[in-house]
Amino acid sequence: MSRLFGRMVVAMMPIMPRFVVRWISRRYVAGVDMESALRVMRKLESQNACFTIDVLGEEITSIEEADYFIEEYERLLKMIVKEKLDANISIKPTAFGLLIDRDKGLANIEKLLREAAKHEIFVRLDMEDHRVTDDTIEVCLAMHEKGLENIGVVLQARLFRTNADIENICSILGPGADFRICKGIYLEPSEIAHTQYKEIVDASNEAIDKMLDGSSYVAIASHDLPVIDHALAALEERKMGPGVDDPRPAAPPPRKGKGEGYEFQMLLGVRGDVRRRLASQGHRTRVYIPYGEQWYEYSMRRLRENPTVAWHVTKAMLMPWTNKR
């Protein structure tokens, strides 16, 4: 039902007026500026949520465009410190020029990472489409080689290669490996990725197990109940959970703003009821807070590539009592 409704919404997107897309997107985009994001986070703090903040925008066409993202993220770091937010940041490597000038892109990311490290703020490298999977992983490993360990990568469960990537990163970084595992927002070719719902769920569950058994930090980013239920069972099997020291051999070192080896993550405005239930049980829960002028492009891609989001958002708009933000 939900996926069918979502596909109906997506089918109408090409003829949707911009204001309609804005109405839908306001559920899961904090706004166009940093102040909007701060207001949203202040409202959610009472729900025992922490945050990862993303400045919307990705692949740029000139290296000069990266200056905007560097400056905005530097402002964001200052705001996190000033407001004493329980928050880290998510960045897209292509927004920093990685595909235009690799050396300059790496230097831009390193500059931001060093500034974040001064305040013990973690930086998550968002994963974009398969063209930059290797590059994104290499950025993470390169920063660790420089002694900058406040960085981790996102892996997409739908890709066939993900299990091999987990093994490789864990073998190099050991307990320093820090993952966010998600199904993947980018629709990839069937030659390199799972395309059916059950296949993606199974792949997500397998990746979670492999990450946990690799003694890495695992951010479980899913709104799918079968994945969340599997993750809870996997944690219980390994005697991990709220208020329990991570019992795994070579567990990740304690880090400011992190849980005991794992956390759950949700998009802003999606599955708020599930997130609050997990938080009430003592699990660390993090909300993904996107903001920026490119809300329209982000919204169109988010709806097109994950139609169930359209169902969650529209249901919450029409029946707000069923799923508070």
Identify any residues that bridge with 290 across adjacent strands, giving them in sequence order.
54
Q: What are phi and psi of 260, to 5 degrees?
A: -85, 65
Contact 227, 220 (CB under 8 A): yes
Q: CATH number for the 30-291 domain, one of 3.40.640.10, 3.20.20.220, 1.20.140.10, 3.40.50.880?
A: 3.20.20.220
- 202: annotated active-site residue: no
Q: What are phi and psi of 161, to 5 degrees?
A: -80, -10
pLDDT number for residue 27: 75
pLDDT surpasses 90 at 28: no
Structure tokens at 192: 């390199």
pLDDT surpasses 80 at 130: yes
Catalytic residue among 27, 180, 275, 284: 180
DSSP string, 7-53: HHHHHHGGG--HHHHHHHHTTT--BSSHHHHHHHHHHHGGGTEEEEE
- Residue 244 pLDDT class (50, 70, 90 cuts): very high
Task: Return the number of other C-beta atoms located less than 10 Å from residue 105's C-beta.
Answer: 22
pLDDT number for residue 254: 87
- Residue 186 pLDDT class (50, 70, 90 cuts): confident
pLDDT number for residue 184: 85
3-state secondary structure of 186: coil
Helix (H) or strand (E) holding 125: strand 123-125
Structure tokens at 181: 């595992």
Break the chain into its structural domains and give their ranges: 30-291
Structure tokens at 142: 């390169």
Better-scored residue on pLDDT, 294 or 44? 44
Catalytic residue among 54, 124, 126, 248: 126
pLDDT number for residue 104: 96
Helices then strands, each counted (H, E), the chain: 12, 8
What average pLDDT does the segment 147-154 reach?
97
**pTM for this model (two decimals):** 0.87
Better-scored residue on pLDDT, 304 or 174? 174
- 209: annotated active-site residue: no
